Amino acid sequence: MSSESPLSGERAGDDQEAAVPIDPATFERTQSLTDIAHRITVRDVITFPWFRPIDTISPTHTVGKGRTNLTLIAPDIMQTDTTGTPYASFSFRPTPSGGPGVSVHFTPGDYGATTVSDYLITFVVTANGAVNLNVGGFAGGSTPTGLGPRTVNGNVAIVVGLKSVPPTQVTYASIQQTGGAGWQWFRTAIEYPPLIIQL
């Protein structure tokens, strides 16, 4: 599962820009299409554009609509003026909150949602070796999918599924390091699950 990192050979925290733009579509996802798909029948009403991200939080776009925002915990560096892809890099060290990490809050109603729906929050990261993470999340009355301890290596898209979220519910998803190598976070996409049409 190892892949060439945009910061290959660099220790997390070095003031070295990621000169190669990243393509999140090529990153290995931590949940399969079957795990995160939203199944519909031909009788269901679909609101488009379902396939577009609702918002993407990144080092250069840290605040979305309403309560949607970013929290970085103990980064080594956040590089926004790069010729490649802006990033924040991390290396493990104990912190009062447990370890370095990234958290994104999201309230669906701030983006126009009026009914209960499902959402995905995807963290796009590069691990420079085995990185131990704890994946967390909150969706109100339902339990998110994809939570718990996880070890990643290489280019990975860590997916948290938020199920049956009311439009006014403040949600969050987070990744927090518990040990291992250095890593970089590039962006977190908030989107609807992919659709599978059942005839």
Residue of higher predicted confidence among 33 and 118: 118
Tens digit of pLDDT for each residue in 90-126?
999 888 778 999 999 999 999 999 999 999 999 999 9
Does residue 48 register a pLDDT over 50? Answer: no
What pLDDT score does 94 carry? 82
Task: pLDDT band for 27, please (50, 70, 90 cuts).
Answer: confident
* CA–CA separation, 188 and 186 (whole Å): 7
Closest Cα partner for 13 from 92, 77, 74? 77
Closest Cα partner for 12 from 153, 139, 182? 182
Q: What is the mean pLDDT of residues 167-180?
A: 96
